[in-house]
Amino acid sequence: MRTSSGTTINRLSFSFLSRKEPACGFRTLHAALRGIALLGFIAPRLLQAQPDKASIRFDQQTQVFRIDAADMSYVLGINEKKQVQTLYWGERLSNADSFAAAHPTPGPSSLDLSINATGQEFVAWGGGLNVEPDLKVTFPDGNRDLVLQYVSHAIEGNQLIIQLKDISQEIYVDLQYQADATTGILRRSARLQNRTSSPLTVEQIASGTWNLPRGTDYRLRYLAGRWAGEWNLHEQTIQPGKTILESRRGSTGAQNNPWFAIDRNNSNDQDTGDVWFGALGWSGSWQISVEQDQIQQVRVTGGPNSFDFGYRLAPGQHLQTPYFYAGYSHDGIGGASRLLHRFELFSILPHAPNPKLRPVLYNSWEATGFKVDEAEQEALAEKAASIGVERFVVDDGWFGQRADDKAGLGDWYVNPVKFPRGLKPLIDKVHSLGMDFGLWVEPEMVNPNSDLYRRHPDWILNFTGRPRTEARNQLVLNLARADVRDYVFRFLDKLLSENNIAFLKWDYNRNWSEPGWPAVTPEDQKKVYITYVHNLYSILEELRAKHPTVEIESCSGGGSRVDLGIMRYTDEVWPSDNTDAFDRLLMQDGFTYAYSPGVMMAWVTDSPTWVNQRTLSLEYRFLSSMQGSLGIGANLNNWKPEDFATAKKMVAQYKQVRETVQRGSLYRLISPQNGSEQSVTETVSEDQDRAITFAFLHSSRMLYPFPRIYLRGLKPDAVYRIAALDGKISAETPLVASGAFWMQHGVDVDLRGDFQAAAFTLETVAH
Q: Which is nearer to ligand DGJ, 21 or 577 (CB)?
A: 577
- Residue 83, CA distances (Å) to 25, 147, 188 in order: 20, 9, 17
Half-sphere exposure of residue 376, counting CA atoms within 13 Å on the CB side?
19
Q: Which residue, 579 or 679, has its beta carbon nearer to ligand DGJ?
A: 579
Contacts with 767 (C-beta within 8 Å, 6 or more apart), sequence order = 719, 736
Residues 373 and 419 sit within 8 Å (Cβ to Cβ): yes
Report how far apart the first and last C-alpha atoms of the chain are (Å, whole number): 56
Cα separation, 665 vs 332, in Å, equals 14
Catalytic pick among 577, 583, 589, 606: 577
Instruction: Return d(Cα 342, Cα 351) in angstroms, integer.
Output: 13
Q: Which is nearer to ligand DGJ, 307 or 413 (CB)?
A: 413
As a residue count, the chain comes to 767
**β-pairing verdict for 629-632 and 361-363:** parallel
CA 734 to each of CA 503, 512, 716, 722, 767: distance values in angstroms, whole numbers, following the listed order: 44, 58, 16, 8, 15
Residue 77 or 557: the one with the smaller Cβ distance to ligand DGJ is: 557
User: CB of 607: closest distance to ligand DGJ in angstroms?
Assistant: 18
Quick one: which segment of 62-70, 189-197, 554-562, 710-718 binds ligand DGJ (CB under 6 A)?
A: 554-562
396 binds ligand DGJ (CB under 6 A): yes
Among 246, 344, 436, 507, binds ligand DGJ (CB under 6 A): 507
Query: CA dihedral defined by 615, 620, 625, 628, rounded to 10 degrees?
Result: -150
d(CA 422, CA 425): 7
Helix (H, G, I), strand (E, B) or coil at 753: coil
- By CB under 6 A, tell whether 440 contacts ligand DGJ: yes
Q: Which stretch binds ligand DGJ (CB under 6 A): 17-25, 551-559, 562-570, 730-738?
A: 551-559
Q: Return the closest-CA partner of residue 545 out of 527, 521, 569.
A: 569
Residue 486 designated active-site = no
- Other C-beta atoms closer than 10 Å to the C-beta of 611 total 17
- Please check whether residue 119 is in contact with residue 85, taking contact to mean a CB–CB distance below 8 angstroms: yes
Residues 604-633 vs ligand DGJ: string with x where CB under 6 A?
------------------------------
Min CB(408)–ligand DGJ separation in Å: 11
Task: Select from 75, 81, 261 the least CA-distant residue to 160.
Answer: 75
Rounded to a whole number of angstroms, the minimum distance from the CB of residue 603 to ligand DGJ is: 9
Among 395, 411, 436, 553, binds ligand DGJ (CB under 6 A): 395
Q: Give the distance, in angstroms, between the CA of residue 695 and the centroid of all CA atoms in the same chain.
A: 26
For the stretch 29-35, contacts whose Cβ atoms lie closer than 8 Å and that sit 24 or more positions apart, written own/partner, are 29/154, 29/155, 29/156, 29/159, 29/161, 30/156, 32/154, 32/161, 32/174, 33/156, 33/159, 33/161
1-30 positions binding ligand DGJ, by CB under 6 A: none
φ, ψ of residue 457 in degrees (nearest 5): -65, -15
CB of 205 to ligand DGJ, least distance (A): 32
Rounded to whole angstroms, the Cα distance separating 219 from 160 reads 30
Residue 47 CB, nearest distance to ligand DGJ (Å)? 36
The span of 186-194, 234-242, 314-322, 553-561 binding ligand DGJ (CB under 6 A) equals 553-561
CB of 415 to ligand DGJ, least distance (A): 15
Shortest approach of ligand DGJ to residue 556 CB, angstroms?
7
Question: DSSP string of 554-577?
Answer: E-BTTBSS-STTGGGT-SEE---S
How far out from the chain centre does Cα 245 lie? 15
Closer CB to ligand DGJ, 374 or 396, in the complex: 396
**Residues touching ligand DGJ: how many (CB under 6 A)?**
11
What does the per-residue mask of binding to ligand DGJ show for 555-594, with x meaning CB under 6 A? x-xx---------------x--x-----------------
Distance of CA 9 to the CA centre of its chain: 22
CA–CA dist 506, 551 (Å, integer): 10
Nearer to ligand DGJ among residue 41 and residue 603 (C-beta): 603
Which part of the chain contacts ligand DGJ (CB under 6 A), choosing from 208-216, 327-335, 550-558, 606-614? 550-558
> What sign does the CA torsion over 704, 705, 706, 711 have?
negative
Strands 601-604 and 629-632: parallel
577 is catalytic: yes
Cβ-based nearer residue to ligand DGJ, 252 or 679: 252
Q: How far is the CB of 533 from ligand DGJ (least distance, A)?
A: 20
Spatial distance between the Cα atoms of 31 and 530, rounded to a whole number of angstroms: 25
Encoded one letter per residue, x for contact with ligand DGJ by CB under 6 A and - for no contact, window 273-302 reads ------------------------------
Residue 689 Cβ vs ligand DGJ, minimum distance, rounded to whole Å: 36
Q: Does position 553 bind ligand DGJ by CB under 6 A? A: no
* Conformational region of residue 256, where left means phi above 0, alpha means psi within -120 to 50, and beta covers everything else: beta
Compute φ and ψ for 221, nearest 5 degrees. -110, 140
Q: Given the complex with ligand DGJ, which of 211 and 509 has the nearer CB atom?
A: 509
C-beta of 476: minimal distance to ligand DGJ in Å?
15
Q: How far from chain centre, in Å, is Cα 44?
A: 20
- Cα 297 to Cα 180, 207, 517, distances in angstroms: 26, 19, 40
In the bound state with ligand DGJ, the residue whose beta carbon lies nearer, of 30 and 226, is 226
Catalytic residue among 274, 395, 507, 524: 507
Nearer to ligand DGJ, 557 or 664 (CB): 557
Q: Are the CB atoms for 412 and 454 separated by under 8 Å?
A: no
Nearer to ligand DGJ, 289 or 447 (CB): 447
Q: Which stretch binds ligand DGJ (CB under 6 A): 71-79, 528-536, 552-560, 721-729?
A: 552-560
* Footprint (CB under 6 A) of ligand DGJ, residues 331-360: none
Q: Give min distance, CB of 160 to ligand DGJ, in A.
A: 40
CB 763 within 8 A of CB 720: yes
For ligand DGJ, which is the closer residue by CB, 301 or 415?
A: 415
Please select the residue that binds ligand DGJ; options are 63, 509, 592, 756, rule is CB under 6 A.
Answer: 509
Nearer to ligand DGJ, 374 or 553 (CB): 553
**Minimum distance, C-beta of residue 580 to ligand DGJ, in the bound complex (Å):** 14
C-alpha distances in Å from residue 541, one per residue of 17, 386, 552, 565, 756: 15, 35, 11, 12, 44
Q: How far is CA 451 from the centre of its chain?
A: 34
Interface residue with ligand DGJ among 231, 276, 325, 365 (CB under 6 A) is 365
- Please state the closest distance from residue 440 (CB atom) to ligand DGJ, in A: 5
Residue facing ligand DGJ at closest CB distance: 396
Active centre residues (catalytic):
507, 577
Q: In the complex, which residues of this chain contact ligand DGJ (CB under 6 A)?
A: 365, 395-396, 440, 507, 509, 555, 557-558, 574, 577
